[in-house]
Structure 1
């Protein structure tokens, strides 16, 4: 209500515009390549692709072997490759992260799935899942193995 009132007052000229740096919008993020090179593929263009993020689901092993959070650029296209070794029936979940991205497709055994949304992926035996997506909502999120609390059983994503 206060924002609406302030916006109406500014529009009507009752108030002066805020000083620079006051109530500014969050920093905007751009795709990895400039808009003139995106072409017909748009955000799915080859020049807009970030590095593949690789995770391993294995009993007693760390989920992610990289250091620190995985940094993603809002508006950029990524692939998440999850490999399960079959040592245990394991899942990976992270609804907040999975709602902060637009999932293009999930590929399992060369079968392409284009879901609206998912909460988790579970492996009953060894296999590989590739999920391609565009990072959308800035923030810090995680994917983790359900029922675990150790730092090695989760991976943190920061979308800038």
Structure 2
């Protein structure tokens, strides 16, 4: 019995070391990275994005939002934010790991990065609140 226990312990230790050498696995690994998403720009009188965004469910993405400080501008999209899993939001080097969000707002110039996994397939959008122009909205499809 002791021989079996020592052999099992040795196998577990060796197996753990081998797994450690392989790097990260799963949804947050580099091998699960989705295609690059175009940056969103919050600026008075400028389009939010160059066009629609297509994502693949289960893939890891990073969305970068740049505000030029020309006005206090927000970005809303509760439907989108509720159908992704947010790993972190980085603002000026500070990492936030929220349970969920409905919108973000910039009071001054800055950059925000949102790292997330697309979850539920569907049609969503992000837009500047209280606007109805096509350039103030970006349509997002999760496949």
Runs of 4+ residues over 3 Å off in structure 1: 38-41
Q: Distance in 2 between matches of 1:138 and 1:100?
A: 8
CA deviation map 1:140-159 (0-9, x unaligned): 00000000000100001100
Larger RCO: Structure 1 or Structure 2 (Cα < 8 Å, ≥ 6 residues apart)?
2
- Using the size of structure 2 for normalisation, the TM-score is 0.81
CA–CA distance in structure 2, aligned partners of residues 151 and 48 of structure 1: 32
Unaligned 5+ residue runs, structure 2?
1-21
Decide which of 85, 88, 110 is 2:93's aligned counterpart. Answer: 110
Q: CA deviation at 1:39?
A: 6.3
Count the aligned residue pairs: 121
Task: Report deviation, 1:63.
Answer: 0.2
Q: Which moved more, 1:87-96 or 1:39-48?
A: 39-48
Structure 1 counterpart of 2:38: 53
Distance 2:115 2:44 in 1: 25
Stretches of structure 1 that go unaligned for 5 or more consecutive residues are 1-37
Contact 2:86 2:99 in 1 (8 A): yes
Q: Which residue of 1 aligns with 2:3?
A: none
Correspondence for 1:122 among 105, 110, 113 = 105
- Tell me how far apart the structure 2 counterparts of residues 151 and 121 of structure 1 sit (CA, whole Å): 19
Please, what TM-score do these two structures have when normalized by structure 1?
A: 0.73
* 2:49 is the counterpart of 1:64: yes
